[in-house]
């Protein structure tokens, strides 16, 4: 099967997803197919910097950090492949429960999910993924806005996400899930090629 052969109005499952063998990367959100665009330089730099900071902080701790491509299956009732209709590839995620990791990546909600926005994925990240991450029980959802050099964190409180204020360069970002972790946003967004002309 080719990507072009998919019926984008159909509801697919992880069993379908796992059987596909085409070059395009896709995600399933509530059974609907979303194509993943190739990340640009700014996206890759920000992702790399966050991964390095998290990896350094987590060294020797029980939690692990993963970067896309990394399938996160979010079951609703059954963990059977044919019943799972959401499979996402977060830019970065932190998993503290090793029991949800298997040979095919992650089966269950990571503790932290980080998504880096681009003009083509804003609706997907802020609407559709927000909903499935909240429903699945992700403890923190970090949304990075490269164009505005800012970050917003959603924290799960009694089953619902509560938004932080927007944080910008000059702010130091911290996480309740990772005590002692901090991210200097001025450093995160510093020295990005091409920004000098903007």
What CATH number did the domain enclosing 67 receive? 3.90.1570.10
Residue 114, in any domain of the structure: yes
**In angstroms, what CA-CA distances link 109 with 13, 37, 87, 131?**
17, 23, 11, 13
Provide the residue-wise pLDDT of the chain in tens; the chain has 198 residues: 789 999 999 999 999 999 999 999 999 999 999 999 889 999 999 999 999 999 999 999 999 999 999 999 999 989 999 999 999 999 999 999 999 999 999 999 999 999 999 877 677 778 899 999 999 999 999 999 998 999 999 999 999 999 999 999 899 999 999 999 999 999 999 988 766 544
Beta partners for residue 144, in sequence order: 116, 151
> Model's pTM, two decimal places?
0.94
Residue 56, in any domain of the structure: yes
Domain that holds residue 77: 39-197
CA distance 174 to 189: 16
How many domains are contained in the chain? 1
**Buried b vs exposed e over 61-80: b needs ≥16 C-beta within 10 Å?**
eebbbbbbebbbbbbeeeee
CA distance 103 to 123: 31
The CA R_g of the chain, rounded to the nearest whole Å, is 17
Residue 12, in any domain of the structure: no
Contacts of 86 (CB under 8 A, 6+ apart): 28, 29, 30, 31, 73, 74, 76, 132, 136
């Amino acid at each position: 099967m080719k990507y072009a052969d998919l019926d984008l109005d159909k509801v697919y499952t992880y069993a379908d997803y796992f059987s596909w063998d085409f070059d395009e990367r896709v995600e399933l959100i509530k059974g609907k197919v979303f194509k993943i665009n190739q990340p640009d330089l700014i996206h890759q730099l920000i992702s790399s910097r966050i991964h390095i900071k998290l990896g350094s902080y987590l060294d020797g701790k029980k939690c692990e950090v993963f970067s896309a491509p990394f399938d996160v299956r979010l079951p609703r009732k059954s963990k059977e492949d044919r019943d799972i209709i959401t499979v996402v590839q977060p830019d970065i995620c932190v998993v503290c429960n090793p029991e949800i990791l298997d040979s095919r990546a992650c089966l269950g909600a990571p503790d932290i999910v980080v998504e880096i926005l681009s003009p083509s994925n804003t609706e997907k990240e802020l609407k559709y993924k927000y909903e499935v991450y909240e429903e699945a029980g992700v403890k923190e959802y970090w949304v990075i806005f490269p164009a505005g050099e800012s970050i917003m964190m959603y924290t799960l409180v009694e089953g619902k996400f509560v938004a932080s204020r927007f944080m910008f360069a000059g702010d130091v970002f911290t996480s309740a899930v990772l005590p002692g972790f901090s991210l200097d946003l001025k450093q995160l967004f510093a020295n990005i090629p091409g920004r000098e002309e903007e």
